[in-house]
A and B are shown apart, each in its own frame.
Chain A
Amino acid sequence: MKIDIQDHMLVPKHEIMTEEEISDEFSEVDYDIKDLPKIKSTDPVVKTIGAEPGNVLRITRESQTAGVFVTYRIVED
């Protein structure tokens, strides 16, 4: 039986962002999206959701301090 690792309590929600969402989110920041924290294309979650190198993932963590925290990672080779 193949299990879905995204169900695991340690794994936060990963979503692939569309071009539109990326430009909405990052147009007014003074860093390049290439400087975002990285996630490997071989990462098991990246493989499960089928993200490609260059994609930006929106990661919604459950945070002990903020309740919900949204962060981003860029998929790299």
Chain B
Amino acid sequence: MDDIEMKVMETITQLNEEENLDIDFPESYIDDLSKAYVGKDLSDDELKELIRKLKQAYDRAHVEAGEAVGTVAAQSVGEPGTQMTMRTFHYAGVTELNVTLGLPRLIEIVDARKDIATPTMDIYFDEERRNDEEFVRTLANQIGKSTINDILKDFNLNYGTMEVEAVLDSKKIEEKRLDREEINAVIEKTFKKSIINGDELIISSAKSDKSESKFEIRELRLLADKVRDLQISGIKGIGKVIIRKDDKEWIIHTEGSNLKEILDMDGIDHVRTTTNNIHEIGEVLGIEAARQSIINEAQNTLSEQGLSVDVRHIMLVADIMTSEGHVKSIGRHGISGEKSSVLARAAFEETGKHLLNASIRGEVDDLTGIIENIIIGQPIPLGTGSVGVKMDYKKE
């Protein structure tokens, strides 16, 4: 394919020289031209004509200077947004994992929420281990949250001795590929007064005096809950895990997310493993990754609802959200709240606050934006309004 691409590039350079066309196509166009050249079996003259026609179409498609791209983007995302379901939850695909979709998710993305409703990760494995079921299951149990409750065989409250008696299930422990020693260590560390005898556990309250009182029964029950909920394995922030086999490989989906620690684990595919938490991506992988993630998430959310919005609009939103080096929200706490013009800010939200603060600080409005000029009734700097006329004094 490289030879053909070279041929196309050469033809373009030749045309540029011969006909002064000033062609500067993006790489995807060169790709498409090469494919058409081979696929349609074009002659050199036909290729030249195709390039000329493409140049015309490309120029027509260009955004004119002074066009309100932001407004168009807002409309293009906003209108399909009105058709989205208000339903927050829905089962995503084959997994039984709840993921926020539709309008609530889109709002989450553009608001740059720190705590999203349903963080989730897709964990992939490296080439050697993506078909190793045993390894995947072991890792899934290391990642996913397990509590004592998950490995119980028998559980009793002994009101006579005021102790919690539990029997662990060795089979379940083995099934979950957990380490017995580690479980015992966690139990001993959390409950000072615990006796571990093989599978049997006897745990009594840390408070030593066993004086008869009504409170102690309550205390015993609280202790029982504590024993059941004791976490014996898992990574911070991650709850349930779902193991799924795709056509070719094993994938783990999680409820909750901890990209940093998961990426540091052995056997994980460091290229494709991601989370849907944009802030986390920004912290772990950088601002450019966050930008790409905003685009991916917004596009997936829209296309899942059967809506198609041109990526360019979403890219513009993502560019603006990440232009300062951190993920900013659209809206009063982000982009709109940081506009330099007082009048523009006041026209958006919290009018009184902005006008009052501006008057206290003695702010000056240069009237360079659109909103300010509409407010005071001047032509707006947009389209043909964005250019002015200046007199050439030197001319006779």
Contact = CB atoms under 8 A, between A and B. Distances in A.
A20 to B, nearest CB: 22
Contact of A10 (B264, B293, B312): B293
A40 B311 CA distance: 26
For the residues of B in contact with A, the DSSP-based class is: helix
Most buried by B among A10, A12, A45, A65: A10
A26 interface: no
A38 interface: yes
Interface in A17-51: 37-40, 43-46
A50 B315 CA distance: 28
Nearest to A40: B325
10 contacts: A2-B264, A5-B289, A9-B274, A11-B286, A40-B325, A44-B284, A45-B289, A65-B315, A66-B26, A67-B30
B323 interface: yes
Given A9-B271, A10-B281, A44 B286 contact: yes
A63 B312 CA distance: 10
A42 to B, nearest CB: 9
B154 interface: no
Contacts of B292: 10, 12, 61
Interface residues of B, number: 33
A70 B324 CA distance: 18
A27 to B, nearest CB: 18
Interface residues of A, number: 31
Interface in B20-53: 26-31
Interface string B262-284: 01101000111010000001011
B26 A68 contact: yes
A67 B28 contact: yes
B240 interface: no
Given A12-B288, A37-B323, 19 more contacts: A4-B270, A5-B286, A7-B271, A8-B270, A8-B271, A8-B289, A9-B271, A37-B319, A37-B324, A39-B286, A39-B288, A40-B325, A43-B287, A45-B285, A63-B28, A66-B27, A67-B31, A68-B26, A68-B27
Most buried by B among A8, A59, A68: A8
A8 to B, nearest CB: 6
Interface of B: 26-31, 263-264, 266, 270-272, 274, 281, 283-289, 292-293, 296, 311-312, 315, 319, 322-326
A11 B285 contact: yes
Contacts of A44: 283-286
B31 A10 contact: no
A57 to B, nearest CB: 9
B26 A67 contact: yes
A77 to B, nearest CB: 10
Nearest to B292: A10
Contacts of B311: 64-65
Contacts of B326: 40
A38 B209 CA distance: 63
Contacts of A76: 325
Contacts of B26: 63, 65-69
Contacts of A12: 288, 292
Nearest to A47: B286
B31 A38 contact: no
A40 B323 CA distance: 10
B237 to A, nearest CB: 19
Given A8-B271, A37-B322, A38-B323, A14 B288 contact: yes
